[in-house]
Amino acid sequence: MPLPQGLSQQDFDSAMAELREIVGDEWVFAGDAHIETYRDPYSPLQGSDDEPVPSAAVAPHTVEHVQGVLRVANDYGIPTWAFSTGKNFGYGGTESRVAGSLMIDLKRMNRILELNEANATAIVEPGVSQYELWQEIQRRGLRLWIDGPSPAYSSIVAIGLERGVGYGLNGERYRALSGLEVVLPTGEVIRTGMAAIEGSGAWAQYPYGLGPHVQGMFSQSNYGIVTKVGVRLIQHPPAFRSSLVIAPNNEDIVPMIDTLRKLRLGGAVDNAVSLGPHGPGRAPWAA
C-alpha cells in the first residue's frame, strides 16, 4: 500500500485519525485487504510498478463529511479520487489516476430526496442506483419512467455526469440532469441552475437558472464532488415500442444507418438508437 507522495507514515497516520473522527472508524479503510476492493482488475497496469494503487479510502455520509474529508486532504496534501456507486461500464471506474490517492467512496450518500410525479422529476444523491430509483417509483405506484439500466446498479449521478447513453426518451443521460450541488476542492458548497436559489421549487425542472450556465463544468471533470442532482424523468407514455433491426449482410449496414438517421432526425424514432454486432440472423432471445 503506497503512501501519498511526499507524506511520511506519521503524517499519514495522523490524517487517518482525523478522517475517523469525521466519518467514524468503520468508514475509513486502510491496509491491503481493504484497498484491494478499489483496484481495477482489468487494468493493463495491474500488478506492475506503475499501477496507481490508492493509500486509503473513506466513505462519507453527508455533505459535511465530504467537506471535512477535503479539508484533511488539503491539510496533508493527499490527492483524492471520488466516485459514486456500482459500475458504469465504459465510463471510468474506481481506480485512481495517481498512486497513493485517498478514495472518496460516495456509496453511503444514497438518499432519494424528492420524487415528484406531477413534474416528473427527482432529486438524488450520488449513491442512488437506477434500480433503487425504479424500486421507489414502483413502491409509490407512480406513473413515471427512468431510462433503461446499463447496468441497473449504476449510479444515476455518475452515468449522467459521464454523459452516458441509455435506452428510452432520455437516452442522453446528461441532458436529464437539472441542477447540481457540488463541494469544491476548497470545501465550499455551490449549487447550479435553479438549485442556487434558496427554496426554489424548480431545482429539477430548469437546469439553466439565471446567468451563466456552469453545470457543464462538472461533467467529465474533477472540479468538484457532486453531492446532489436534480433529474428529469418521463411520465409514463400511453404506448411504447422497442424494435430490433438486423442487417444480415455487411453491405446492408450503410443504407440501414442512413434510414435510421432520417427516422431519428424526423422524430419518428425519438429515443436512443444503438448499433452493434449480432449473431447470425436472429435475436439471441428468439426461440
pLDDT in tens, 136-156: 999 999 999 887 656 777 888
pLDDT in tens, 54-90: 999 999 999 999 999 999 999 999 999 999 987 766 6
pLDDT score at 279: 57
Q: What is the mean pLDDT of the chain?
A: 88
- Is residue 52 within 8 A of residue 22, CB to CB? The reply is no
Among 34, 28, 36, CA closest to 53 = 36
Instruction: Evaluate if residue 171 carries a pLDDT over 80.
Output: no
Highest mean pLDDT, choosing among 93-97, 203-207, 224-228: 224-228
Instruction: Evaluate if residue 287 carries a pLDDT over 50.
Output: no
pLDDT score at 89: 63
Confidence of residue 182 (pLDDT cuts 50, 70, 90): very high
Instruction: Evaluate if residue 281 carries a pLDDT over 80.
Output: no
Q: How far is CA 50 from CA 44, 77, 79, 94, 272, in A?
A: 10, 21, 17, 16, 38
C-alpha cell at 61: 455520509
pLDDT score at 274: 76
pLDDT score at 280: 53
Instruction: Evaluate if residue 275 carries a pLDDT over 70.
Output: yes
pLDDT score at 149: 57
Highest mean pLDDT, choosing among 29-38, 84-93, 171-180, 197-206: 197-206
Query: Cα 156 vs. chain centroid, distance in angstroms?
Result: 5
- Rounded to whole angstroms, the Cα distance separating 211 from 70 reads 28
Instruction: Evaluate if residue 183 carries a pLDDT over 90.
Output: yes
Residues written for the chain: 287
Instruction: Evaluate if residue 285 carries a pLDDT over 60.
Output: no
pLDDT in tens, 2-52: 888 999 999 999 999 999 999 999 999 988 888 888 887 777 887 788 888
Give the least confident one: 43-47, 105-109, 181-185, 194-198: 43-47
- Rounded to whole angstroms, the Cα distance separating 235 from 147 reads 11
The mean per-residue pLDDT over the stretch 112-136 comes to: 95
- Rounded to whole angstroms, the Cα distance separating 162 from 174 reads 7
Give the least confident one: 64-73, 222-231, 248-257: 248-257
Single pTM value for the model: 0.87
- Rounded to whole angstroms, the Cα distance separating 191 from 93 reads 25
Confidence of residue 92 (pLDDT cuts 50, 70, 90): low
pLDDT score at 239: 81
pLDDT score at 148: 66
Instruction: Evaluate if residue 237 carries a pLDDT over 90.
Output: no
